[in-house]
Every structure is written in structure tokens, then in C-alpha cells.
């Protein structure tokens, strides 16, 4: 029997992945040149579909990398000469912060305990900071930063770049593109693809700042930096030989999502999240980790378990349902349940039925 993956990445594949992957092989996309018309057409189609899905206006460009982690590094190295600021409330946001220190920048942070978010109005960002890095959905703890909070940063700090890691939530959050400068993600979470492709959405201001830094003699990383991506992207190409197969696949999956309608996908995501949180709240065995309702992620639900989490995960595996383990030190006291678009309402109902039948 087929397994259903509720893991938060790599995750359940989007139902049409197999069909598109076969078609890609039939079209010899593993062998075509990345400096030719066919590839440029694929690049253009995928970026255009993403712009439609996410409502991205004129003035933004989209570039491809190997992962989201890579974009953490390239964004800091290309767009900050001295200092960055980070909202740290879990393992992913912490790594973004640490990358800044490792690159020799002055890294500032606001830190919240695991399972908690931020009271953003109380946080002051030092004037030397050039870019503010937000993790919209902290996958390790299931805490989200409400988009309104992210937008408010731009209102208060219009001179600084606002960067958003939306790896495990996009396309769910609805961004006001006049209030964010850059959004990054990778495809093995909510887009339901195998891992191996990062996507970096940037506006002109971000590019202009990278250009100004370069003109001042600032050295960005040589293997991919924003300006090398921009230079090649202008031709619908990439600096190095890219994962053509996945750029194609992403374009097709986004087209399928457009066919379903992004509003419908978002509505369904909220509906499924409600089912999971309701279950956890009523259950004797589970307890939602994130207490503050506005900070609860709709795409990655983290629950404390009364019994050891490993036993619960094992029991569900026997039913061909794969839950995510708790992250790091929470490995044996939490489960993480992904709620991505590849999972249907029926999939979620089935998973909850199995959880209900577990011996208390
Ligand atoms: C998974 C994840 C990443 C890292 O993505 P990679 O594609 O593995 O580099 C970064 N940020 C968040 C919030 C994530 O969930």
C-alpha cells in the first residue's frame, strides 16, 4: 500500500509529480543544453507561473539555486555589507542568524523561547542593520510570524531590506509585495517536490543594494551571488548548470495549483489545519505546542505527546501514515504534522482516524 507522508520536508509529493516527471524524461530534459531556447522557455514559464500563483507584481524577479540554505548564504553575502537582524525562535531561524556571524557580519537578533513568537511592536532594530531576516514559518517549532507583523517592519524600517524565509508555508501566506523585498523557499515542503531546488524572489531595491555594495568593493560569494543570478537570469538562464528537470517540474506543479486556484488551496489548508488543531485540543494524548493562536502555523502543526513520540510514529507507520518526529531535543516528546497542499482533506481525516484509534 502507498504511504502518506505528513513529514514537514521532504514531504508528500504533489499528486501530479510522477506524470510530469515522466513527461520531462520523454522530452529529454535531463540532456538538453541550459544555454538554449528550450531551457530559456522552461525558465520563463516557471517564473511566470510562480508570479501568477503568488500575485507577484512587475519589478520582482525569480532566481533558482540548489536549496533554501544556499539562499540564506547568498542573500547575506550579496545584500549586507555590515549587519543583519534576525528573528530567532527555532532551529531554522537560528541557522540563518549563524550564517551571518560566519560570514563576518554583525548579526543582531530578537530571540523567543521555543514554541513562541514575537511581540513585534516591542522590538527595536538597530540603525546599522541593512537587512531584516524573518522566518515566516519556523518548521522546527510550528510557530508562524503573522504576515501583518512582517509588513509592519517595512512600515517602521523602510530603509532596510525585509527578507522572508517562507520555505515551509508558501503559497499559504498572502504577502503584500510592497512590504517585502525578498522571499525565499525550496520545493520539498509545500510544493510537494523532491528536494534539490531553491527559489529566490527579489525586488529591484534588493538588486540595487547588491550593486551598490559591489561598487564599494564588497565581495560576494563567487559560486552564486545575487548579481550573478541577475546577470544570467536576464537571459532566462542560471550561472551554473541547473536542475532543469525540477525547474520544469515546478512550473508544471504551479500550473496545476493555478488550475485548482490558489484561494481554494489556501482555504483547504486552513480547513485541514483546523481539523488537526481541534483534534489535538480534544485529545488526551496530544497538546498543541504553540499556545498563542495567532502564532500557530497552519502548514506545520507541532504537538506535544503524552506517550513517547517514537511509539506513536511507529504505530502510524504500520498504517502507512508517516508523521514527522519532533525537532532536535523534542524528538521524543513531540510529533510534527505537515499540512501541505499535496495532502487532501481525506488524507488528513484518515490520519486523524488512525490517531484516535491509538491506545491511550
Ligand atoms: C527546510 C527549511 C529550510 C532549508 O531548506 P533547504 O532546501 O533544505 O535548504 C530553511 N528554512 C526553513 C524554514 C525550512 O523549513
pLDDT of residue 197: 98
| The residue to which cell 534588493 is assigned | 206
- How is residue 28 written as a grid cell? 529529454
- How is residue 13 written as a grid cell? 509529493
- Report the nearest-CA residue for atom 12 of ligand 1: 167
- How is residue 157 written as a grid cell? 524600517
SS3 of the chain: helix, strand, coil, percent, to 5: 40, 20, 40
What domains are there in the chain, each with its CATH number? 4-12+261-356 (3.90.1150.10), 17-259 (3.40.640.10)
User: From the alpha carbon of 8, which atom of ligand 1 is closest?
Assistant: 15
Whole-model pTM: value is 0.98
Per-residue pLDDT tens, the chain, 360 aa: give them.
799 999 999 999 999 999 999 999 999 999 999 999 999 999 999 999 999 999 999 999 999 999 999 999 999 999 999 999 999 999 999 999 999 999 999 999 999 999 999 999 999 999 999 999 999 999 999 999 999 999 999 999 999 999 999 999 999 999 999 999 999 999 999 999 999 999 999 999 999 999 999 999 999 999 999 999 999 999 999 999 999 999 999 999 999 999 999 999 999 999 999 999 999 999 999 999 999 999 999 999 999 999 999 999 999 999 999 999 999 999 999 999 999 999 999 999 999 999 999 986
Q: Annotate 331-355 with b (16+ C-beta within 10 A) or e (fewer).
A: eebbbbbbbbbbbeeebbebbbebb
Closest CA to 18 of 204, 192, 254: 192
The answer to whether residues 151 and 181 touch, using CB atoms and an 8 Å cutoff, is: no
Ligand 1 pocket check for 339: Cβ under 6 Å: no
Cα-to-centroid distance, 359 and ligand 1 (Å): 34
**Order of strands, edge to edge, in the sheet holding 60-65?**
60-65, 198-203, 182-186, 161-165, 131-135, 83-88, 106-111
End-to-end CA distance of the chain: 26
Ligand 1 pocket check for 168: Cβ under 6 Å: yes
Closest CA to 272 of 349, 168, 173, 167: 349
Ligand 1 pocket check for 91: Cβ under 6 Å: no
Amino acid at each position: 500500500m502507498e504511504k502518506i507522508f505528513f513529514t514537514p520536508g521532504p514531504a508528500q509529493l504533489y499528486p501530479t509529480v510522477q506524470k510530469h516527471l515522466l513527461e520531462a524524461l520523454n522530452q529529454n530534459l535531463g540532456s538538453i543544453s541550459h544555454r538554449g531556447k528550450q531551457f530559456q522557455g522552461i525558465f520563463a514559464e516557471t517564473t511566470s507561473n510562480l508570479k501568477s500563483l503568488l500575485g507577484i507584481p512587475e519589478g520582482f524577479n525569480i532566481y533558482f539555486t540548489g536549496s533554501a540554505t544556499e539562499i540564506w548564504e547568498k542573500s547575506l553575502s550579496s545584500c549586507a555589507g555590515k549587519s543583519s537582524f534576525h528573528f530567532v525562535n527555532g532551529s531554522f531561524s537560528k541557522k540563518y542568524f549563524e550564517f551571518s556571524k560566519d560570514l563576518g557580519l554583525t548579526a543582531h537578533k530578537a530571540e523567543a523561547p521555543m514554541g513562541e513568537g514575537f511581540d513585534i511592536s516591542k522590538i527595536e532594530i538597530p540603525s546599522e542593520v541593512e537587512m531584516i531576516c524573518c522566518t515566516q514559518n519556523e518548521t522546527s517549532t510550528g510557530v508562524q510570524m503573522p504576515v501583518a507583523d512582517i509588513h509592519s517592519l517595512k512600515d517602521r524600517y523602510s530603509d532596510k531590506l525585509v527578507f522572508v524565509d517562507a520555505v515551509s508555508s508558501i503559497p499559504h501566506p498572502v504577502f503584500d509585495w510592497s512590504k517585502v523585498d525578498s522571499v525565499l523557499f525550496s520545493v520539498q515542503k509545500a510544493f510537494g517536490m523532491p528536494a534539490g531546488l531553491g527559489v529566490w524572489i527579489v525586488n529591484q531595491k534588493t538588486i540595487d543594494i547588491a550593486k551598490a555594495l559591489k561598487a564599494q568593493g564588497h565581495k560576494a560569494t563567487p559560486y552564486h551571488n545575487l548579481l550573478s543570478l541577475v546577470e544570467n537570469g536576464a537571459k532566462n538562464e542560471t550561472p551554473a548548470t541547473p536542475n532543469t528537470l525540477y525547474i520544469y517540474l515546478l512550473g508544471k506543479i504551479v500550473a496545476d495549483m493555478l488550475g485548482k486556484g490558489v484561494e481554494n488551496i489556501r482555504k483547504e489548508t486552513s480547513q485541514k489545519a483546523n481539523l488537526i488543531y481541534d483534534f489535538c485540543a480534544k485529545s488526551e494524548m496530544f497538546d498543541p505546542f504553540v499556545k498563542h493562536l495567532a502564532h500557530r502555523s497552519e502548514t506545520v502543526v507541532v504537538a506535544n505527546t503524552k506517550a513517547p513520540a517514537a511509539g506513536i510514529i511507529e504505530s502510524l507507520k504500520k498504517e502507512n501514515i508517516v508523521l514527522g518526529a519532533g525537532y532536535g531535543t523534542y524528538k521524543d516528546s513531540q510529533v510534527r504534522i505537515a499540512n501541505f497542499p499535496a495532502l487532501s482533506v481525506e488524507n488528513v481525516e484518515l490520519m486523524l482516524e488512525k490517531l484516535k484509534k491509538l491506545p491511550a
